[in-house]
Amino acid sequence: MKFGSAVKVDSRIDPKIIYQQQKINYLNSVVPPYFFSMREECLLSMSSRERSLAALNMEEPDRVPISPLLYVQFPSAALGIPLYKLASPLATYPIWKAEFETFKMFKMDAQVDGAYDVIHTKWPLPFLHMAASFLKLPENVEIDVRVERKDEGKIWFKRIFKTPKGSLETRCVLPEGDQIWEKTPIISNPEEDLEKIKCILEGKIDLEGYERVREAVGNDGIVKVMTQFPLNFWLGYRDISGKQSVIELYRKPDLVKEYLRMYMEMWIIPLVEACSEHQIDVMWLDATYLGFINTKMFREFALPDLRT
């Protein structure tokens, strides 16, 4: 093989071999062959953890970290783990572990979630995102997850959040061979449900599970805390489709802002403070649903929290 030449890859070859061929081809194309030892030293002078932290701290890493966001479908396909074992009330396999094994398989710089437990067995994902794993519920609040019915290759689940102010209910469906899909929002009556959600968020934040993940990952990567941006929480869990939640930005702006203020003061700020004290590696705020709103709504409902 000539240096700088293309490598023809058979798609049936193991992904590890494909990656190695591509890496060798790239190195040969940009660095003269007599600097082979220098090329290897360049790749290995930092651990994945050091490399990622250097980039996050705006320092110069030995190379650009390769840490794509792995949606649950990717580890499922790469490792052969059924989706329901990762993302459903029947889950048995921690997502962080599946992410970590996938990053290692493809020789990338791991950036895994810090939720140590199998979070989908209890929490609906859009509520607090994966960081729900760190919320220890108050003694007067409990979550009851039960099978509601089975039909046509689907299992329907009901989650009931029992609080001193009343119950919140949400339903989700697990199609055969798939992950869980939320079907009804946890906020069904905004005027009545605010106090119930406050009861849930009165719990304490405990990052013990995060540290267990970080210890397991070691120098092979970094560990993130991931939760919802306040407006993302409203848009994603007031209404699964996003339609009603956007309409209420116009019709009930004061009530929406009360929800956003509650979420920021009772969840985001305490979580950020705990993460800062614990010196976590990195924190992600999911703002996916902000694409649903226009510029005016962004300025009114999102920008104040971004500035905070």
DSSP 88: S
- Asked whether residue 26 carries a pLDDT value surpassing 80, the answer given is no
Most confident of 2-16, 43-57, 172-186, 188-202: 188-202
Question: Which residue type, as a one-letter code, is found at position 133?
Answer: S
Separation between Cα atoms, residue 275 and residue 271, nearest integer Å: 6
- Model pLDDT, residue 1: 37
158-167 pLDDT, tens digit per residue, is: 999 999 999 9
Mean pLDDT within 219-223: 97
Indicate the average pLDDT of the chain.
87
59-70 pLDDT, tens digit each:
999 999 999 988
What number is the average pLDDT over the span 193-216? 96
- CB burial of residue 150 (10 Å; 0-12, 13-18, 19+): exposed
pLDDT band at 35 (very low <50, low <70, confident <90, very high): very low
Residue 100 confidence (pLDDT) above 90: yes
CB burial class (10 A; 0-12, 13-18, 19+) of residue 237? buried
First to last CA, the chain: 56
d(CA 245, CA 220): 41
| 170: enclosing H helix or E strand | strand 166-175
d(CA 63, CA 68): 15
- Which residues neighbour 250 within 8 Å (Cβ) at sequence distance 6 or greater? none
Q: What is the pLDDT of residues 104-138, one digit of tens each?
A: 999 999 999 999 999 888 887 667 889 999 999 99
Q: Which residues of 36-45 are buried (b: 16+ CB within 10 A; e: fewer)?
A: eeebeeeeee
Indicate if the pLDDT at residue 16 is higher than 60.
Answer: no
Both tokens assigned to 115: 């939720």
pLDDT in tens, 266-307: 999 999 999 999 999 999 999 988 888 999 999 999 999 988
What integer is the mean pLDDT of 168-187?
Answer: 90
Across the range 194-218, mean pLDDT stands at 96
Domain spans of the chain, in order of start: 1-44, 119-307
**Distance in angstroms (rounded) separating the CA atoms of residues 226 and 95:** 13
CA distances from 194 to 66, 67, 262 (A): 41, 37, 9
Give the residue with greater pLDDT, 122 vs 178.
178
